[in-house]
Structure 1
Amino acid sequence: MTTHPSLEYLLVACVAAAVTFLLTPVARRVAIRSKALAMPRDRDVHAVAIPRMGGVALFIGFSLALFVASRLPSLHRSFENGPDMMWVVISAAVICGVGILDDKYELDSLTKLAGQVLATGLMVTLGGVQLAYFPFGSTTVSLGRDLAIPVTIVLALLTINAMNFIDGLDGLAAGVTVIAASAFFVFSYHLAQDHFTDVTASPTLLAAALAGTCAGFLPHNFWPARIFMGDSGSMVVGLILSAAATSATTSADPQAFNGALGSLPLALPLLIPVAVLALPFVDLLLAVIRRVARGRSPFAPDKQHLHHRLLELGHSHRRAVLLLYFWSALLAFAGVGLSYDRGEWFVIGTLCSLAAVGILVSVVPGMRTRARTRTSAGV
């Protein structure tokens, strides 16, 4: 008896969610005993010490989900073509180990970067996760192995650190990862339905397992968080997200796309993380500019990040996170919508309409706060 791949993907996601959900309290107790705690700082939004090391539960949940997939009738083929899944798991284990040390001892940035380079290097060179070519219009730009390896490593490092950077509010990084991984899954599965790729392609499996993993962690991490994923988690999900994006881009033939957008759909996996993480990337850029303009180090902390500004506008912690979920989902799934052969203008129109609603919801609390301030001042 054979099962449809969609049911197997659902099983993998459920296994990842269940294992992660059950192991997260265990990781929390271990973090407390080992004193791997996020102590409140002036720039933080939490007022009490919160255990870290949630990434241990995330890594185990993801790994067991892939193990289950390797034993399923259809999804076992994901391990026969494309990247070497074993090296993806090994690379995730390496970067999770680096994150555990950082959660416990707070490593310096150079040491942490060295660990990230080691993990991504293993994934790219031995695991075969490489951006071998890049779709451009109706042609294909071949990067060649000498260029593909460093380019893929840089893209992976950017994604890892962007996920690390966005982990500033309870549940934000986990929720954004669920959104991004779900967008990858829909994109990859759509390509398979249109016979551009195999329905059991590795990026589809990676996306399903990652979405389930973070969905299982989110109940423990959403406001008020009982545990943080820490660097052991944010770096792991960033690594896997980059692996899914890269392998999705190189898993189909760009010559098969002849629509108005040419082979743009194949570039969307690389654009989706840029879209999802656009807000933290812009926030990071503005923070560097702001600090340098004031004569401070670009690495000097402050309380003017995007999530701080949303709180200052009058949004609650929960509402600020939900707003960032909204913007991430809007950008990610708008990009996925463009991968369909028809309806590009419908997607663009819907995007603009929802963006207008999002802007209105985002700024109204600030307008109310300023109105109340003027009224109390007798203006």
Structure 2
Amino acid sequence: MSLSRHNVSAYAGKLGSVKEYLLLALVTAAVTYLLVPPVRAFALRIGAAPEVRERDVHKVPTPRLGGLAMFGGMAAGLFMATQLPHVGGAISSGQTGNTVIALLAAGGLIVLTGFLDDWLGMDALVKFGGQVASGGILVYFGMNLPFLPLPQSWGGSTGLDGNLRTVLTILIVVVVINAVNFVDGLDGLAAGIVGIAALATFAYSIVLSQTSSGSRINVTAAVTAILIGMCLGFLPHNFNPAKIFMGDTGAMLLGLLLATSLVTVTSSVEPVAGINKFPVILPLVLPIAVMVLPLADLIMAVVRRTSAGLSPFHPDRGHLHHRLLDLGHSQRRSVLIMYAWTFLFAFTIVGLSIGGVPLILFPLTILLAVAVLVLMALPKLRSRQDATRYHRSVGAHAASPTRHRDVTTPR
């Protein structure tokens, strides 16, 4: 079947836009990667490498402030975006036409807040104020939640007045920032999970852009492409054994950008323009899917701490990654397990968004989940098996004097 000249032109345009997004990710990753060594040297010079605390899992003082390199990568990615024909036009038009200024201003404030906390320490309420203010900056520049895409049986798409959209947008920003901050406890964990979440959101936005030309979905694609680049550029320096930590400087910046992408993707298109048989629910479910582990960790931490009469921000060793370590997993294995869970949930939802997903996907998802649980238990099972073999060996040698003399003392 031959394609019309219009279809060929449209396809070429879509392919070109994807190449621009990939270029954004590449430039952001390269700049972030190259900025980490000087940022590390700066952190060491000003003493932003605190002593190891009781709840920490690393053994030696490690410099923080990796978020400064991420912010530099983000700024480079945003500048590159303004120079590209498709992406530049998308982020400079429509309701979100001030995307670059909004992200630089909100990101700059949240980085300054995190920098002061990583360097000098800061009260939790002051940090909370910085998070709220950053969300307010996004709202001021039009990057808010104008409506909720609800099913027709619930009244259809529901517009939000100025006060409600402001409150909901800031709430999403604060929750996502703290969820990312809470999960940042192992080398490479936060950067990897946010990178996977951004990749899932990027995939969804690219598919959705095939049926929608709205500027918000293109902003989502651009923001997530930059976010992916920030994570990829930082991970080589941060994966176990980490040479530098992102600190609150980086964790809150990643949370801010991820929240921005979730806000824009949720209200990208009207429900009637859906791309599959789940057009209404998916924009609401996707943010939960890509944030399932950080959100679960955040909720459990708040419940755990408040039930003990402590502040929700009081640090402890009850996070999900601590539990994996307590099961006997190494840092790397724990991180990879949490990567797997994030990928599983996020891309299952994205798969549903593409349409035509067979029912077999659901039992397969369950089997994959069980497989991950089995992998989590393997170190414990191995330790039990080794202990059993050891006791049997000792018993056999005790029963045989000749063999007992041949046994060397274990080191």
Q: TM-score by structure 1 length?
A: 0.92
Change (3 A) 1:288 1:246: same
The answer as to whether partners of 1:95 and 1:232 remain within 8 angstroms in 2 is yes
Matches within 5 A, 1:201-220: 201-220=218-237
The answer to whether 1:93 aligns with 2:108 is yes
In 1: Cα distance, 2:390 partner to 2:319 partner: 28
How far apart are residue 276 of structure 1 and its match?
A: 4.5
Query: Which one of 55, 64, 81 corresponds to residue 43 of structure 1?
Result: 55
Change (3 A) 1:300 1:210: closer
Decide which moves more: 192-201 or 246-255.
192-201
The equivalent of 2:130 in structure 1 is: 115
Change (3 A) 1:344 1:150: farther
The answer to whether 1:335 aligns with 2:352 is no
In 2: Cα distance, 1:265 partner to 1:73 partner: 30
How far apart are residue 307 of structure 1 and its match?
A: 1.4
The equivalent of 1:318 in structure 2 is: 332
Identity percentage of aligned residues: 37
Query: Which one of 50, 67, 90 corresponds to residue 78 of structure 1?
Result: 90
The equivalent of 1:193 in structure 2 is: 210
The answer to whether 1:353 aligns with 2:367 is yes
**Number of equivalences:** 375
The equivalent of 1:309 in structure 2 is: 323
Secondary structure of 2:68's partner? helix
The alignment's C-alpha RMSD in Å is 2.3
In 2: Cα distance, 1:110 partner to 1:199 partner: 32
The answer to whether 1:366 aligns with 2:380 is yes
Give the letter for the 2:341 counterpart: W
Secondary structure of 1:131's partner? coil
**In the TM superposition, what whole-angstrom CA distance separates every residue of 1:133-166 from its partner, at most 9, and x where no partner exists?**
1112242122222111011101110000111111
**In the TM superposition, what whole-angstrom CA distance separates every residue of 1:34-69 from its partner, at most 9, and x where no partner exists?**
111142111100111100111011011011111111
The answer to whether 1:150 aligns with 2:167 is yes
Give the letter for the 2:89 counterpart: R
The answer to whether 1:131 aligns with 2:148 is no
The equivalent of 1:141 in structure 2 is: 158
How far apart are residue 195 of structure 1 and its match?
A: 3.6
The answer as to whether partners of 2:178 and 2:298 remain within 8 angstroms in 1 is no
The answer as to whether partners of 1:99 and 1:232 remain within 8 angstroms in 2 is yes
In 1: Cα distance, 2:62 partner to 2:268 partner: 41
Q: TM-score by structure 2 length?
A: 0.85
The answer to whether 1:160 aligns with 2:191 is no
**In the TM superposition, what whole-angstrom CA distance separates every residue of 1:100-141 from its partner, at most 9, and x where no partner exists?**
1011011010111111111111111x2211111111224212
Decide which moves more: 67-76 or 217-226.
67-76
The equivalent of 1:181 in structure 2 is: 198
Give the letter for the 2:301 counterpart: L
The answer as to whether partners of 1:36 and 1:104 remain within 8 angstroms in 2 is yes
Matches within 5 A, 1:261-272: 261-272=278-289
In 1: Cα distance, 2:157 partner to 2:216 partner: 23
Give the letter for the 1:204 counterpart: A
The answer as to whether partners of 1:129 and 1:247 remain within 8 angstroms in 2 is yes
Q: Which runs of 5+ in 1 are unaligned?
A: none
The answer to whether 1:254 aligns with 2:266 is no
The answer as to whether partners of 1:54 and 1:230 remain within 8 angstroms in 2 is yes
Give the letter for the 1:111 counterpart: V
The answer as to whether partners of 1:88 and 1:123 remain within 8 angstroms in 2 is yes
Stretches (4+) displaced over 6 A: none
Give the letter for the 1:39 counterpart: E
The answer as to whether partners of 1:252 and 1:266 remain within 8 angstroms in 2 is no
The equivalent of 2:79 in structure 1 is: 67
In 1: Cα distance, 2:117 partner to 2:390 partner: 47
The answer as to whether partners of 2:111 and 2:253 remain within 8 angstroms in 1 is yes
The answer to whether 1:20 aligns with 2:32 is yes
Secondary structure of 2:149's partner? strand
